[in-house]
Amino acid sequence: MDQTALFTLTYGVFILGAANNGAKNACIINTCVQQTAEPARVSVTVLKSNLTHYMVDASKKFSVSVLGKHASLETVAHFGLQSGRKVDKLENFEHHIDTLGTPVIEKDSLATFSCKVAEQVDLGTHTLFIGEVVEATKLVEGEPMTYAYYRDLKAGKVQPIGMEERKPSESAQVQYECAVCHYLYDGEVPFEELPDTYVCPICGKPKSVFFKA
């Protein structure tokens, strides 16, 4: 088998957060994939030897922060190059606790997800956790960091991308997008004021599947 063929596959850079019995931790992973839109589910693949893996396996919940290209190498190194068994990675790093009691990292992130484990698959050295998304937040606009981009950034082949780290202005017009067909609502009536009987004009899905774009 030609192992170099695997190098053509694309990966992202994400921070996986977890908590169990009062302890909390986070680590870098490179695999987070949307599996379904309704219900919204994502999967993450985690090395079994990681402390974060143990916490997700025990608590059946996790958070995912999608790092953007503006993320610093220091953030990636902080969560990826040291073990939570030796140092409290969250002690002096800004984070908040979500509705599931799991730590969430917003710094250098484009979006965050909070998930309950619905299924898991033993992959030998890793576990595939499939999580039902119970909370999702879009933080800023930008391009997600890929693992290939991270390697180039670390090697000095590309220059860091600057970004004003702020949430979208509340005065900006909020758009709603269908999670199934990605139709953007553009009607004159504010989306919040539409009746619950409203359905997507493209795929016919109910108002409940729309999210803030």
pLDDT at position 65 is 98
The pLDDT tens digits for 22-55 are: 999 999 999 999 999 889 999 999 999 999 999 9
Residue 96 DSSP symbol: E
Write out pLDDT tens, residues 158-196: 887 775 544 444 445 678 888 887 888 888 888 999 999
- Domain limits, the chain: 10-161, 169-213
> Measured between alpha carbons, how far is 24 from 133 in angstroms, rounded to an integer?
19
Task: Report domain 10-161's class.
Answer: mainly beta
Q: Read off the pLDDT band of 70 (50, 70, 90).
A: very high
pLDDT for the residue 187: 83
- For residue 169, the model assigns a pLDDT of 44
Laid out side by side, the sheet with 32-37 consists of 23-29, 14-20, 61-67, 109-122, 126-138, 40-47, 32-37
Q: Which of 68, 82, 94 is nearest to 14 (CA)?
A: 68
Closest by CA to 152, choosing from 38, 25, 3, 13, is 13
Residue with tokens 């504010």: 190
In this prediction, residues 45-71 reach a mean pLDDT of 97
Q: Cα separation of 19 and 60, whole Å?
A: 10
**Rounded-to-integer distance, Cα 84 and Cα 142, Å:** 29
Is the pLDDT reported for residue 118 higher than 50?
A: yes
The mean per-residue pLDDT over the stretch 59-71 comes to: 97
Of 172, 122, 123, 132, give the one whose Cα is nearest residue 40: 132
Q: What is the mean pLDDT of the chain?
A: 90
Give pLDDT tens digits for 75-114: 999 999 999 999 999 999 999 999 999 999 999 999 999 9
* Domain 169-213 class in CATH: mainly beta
